[in-house]
């Protein structure tokens, strides 16, 4: 297999570079693994790579974003810090480290270690590695729907048993 990639240095002189994954069903589902590989290539600096996955991507899609300010409705991810350098800390994140996700200002995911975080709608509890997360989606139903369509999601999660569906309230 030839492991070549685009000439990012030439491309970034002519266009905005965006970063994302084209398939979490056929490729590694962990976005941070992709980010770490891109960082190791060195074609983009840390700030450029971060922006390619966040603010530049939001701007390209016409989505508001790229800042936190009073009165704004935010999409925010909060994760455990595993390194002292801010860039090393960002690129060291794994899904198990994600503690809280706000989407449009509402809780979309919270880690079980954050007792008392309020969420607005029913969701599901799931296991991810050694962590338990609450997500604002019906994960057992989603997994069942994928199975009906013979899609092997190949996700390293498990719905947390009979109590996987939880009422709205607090994490």
82/74 Cα distance (integer angstroms)? 24
Take residue 49 and report the two structure tokens written for it. Answer: 């790579």
Backbone angles phi, psi at 89, to 5 degrees: -65, -45
**pLDDT band at residue 164 under the 50/70/90 scheme:** low
Average pLDDT of the chain, as a whole number: 82
For the chain, how big is the Rg over CA atoms in Å? 18
pLDDT in tens, 19-63: 887 666 667 788 899 999 999 999 999 999 999 998 888 888 887
Cα separation values, 107 from 52, 66, 85, 156, 167, Å:
24, 19, 27, 22, 14
Considering 114-118, 127-131, 161-165, the range whose residues carry the highest mean pLDDT is: 127-131
Give the distance, in angstroms, between the CA of residue 119 and the centroid of all CA atoms in the same chain: 18
29/57 Cα distance (integer angstroms)? 19
Nearest Cα residue to 119 out of 133, 132, 111, 109: 109
Return the higher-pLDDT residue of 41 and 69: 41
3-state helix, strand, coil in the chain (%, to 5): 30, 20, 50
pLDDT in tens, 102-116: 888 888 999 989 877
**pLDDT higher than 60, residue 171:** yes
150/137 Cα distance (integer angstroms)? 21
Cα separation values, 95 from 29, 72, 147, Å:
10, 26, 23
């Amino acid at each position: 297999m030839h492991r070549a990639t685009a000439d990012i240095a030439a491309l970034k002189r002519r266009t905005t570079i965006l970063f994302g994954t084209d398939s979490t069903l056929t490729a590694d589902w962990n976005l941070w693994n992709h980010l770490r590989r891109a960082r190791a290539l060195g074609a983009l600096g840390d700030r450029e790579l971060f922006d390619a996955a966040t603010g530049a991507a939001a701007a390209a899609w016409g989505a508001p974003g790229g800042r936190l300010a009073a009165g704004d409705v935010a999409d925010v991810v909060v994760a455990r810090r595993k390194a002292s350098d801010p860039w090393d800390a960002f690129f060291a994140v794994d899904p198990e480290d994600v503690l809280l996700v706000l989407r449009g200002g509402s809780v979309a995911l919270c880690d079980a270690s954050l007792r008392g975080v309020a969420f607005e709608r029913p969701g599901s509890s799931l296991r991810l590695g050694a962590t338990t997360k609450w997500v604002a989606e019906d994960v057992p139903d989603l997994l069942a729907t994928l199975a009906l369509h013979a899609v092997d999601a190949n996700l390293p999660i498990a719905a947390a048993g009979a109590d996987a569906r939880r009422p709205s309230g607090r994490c």
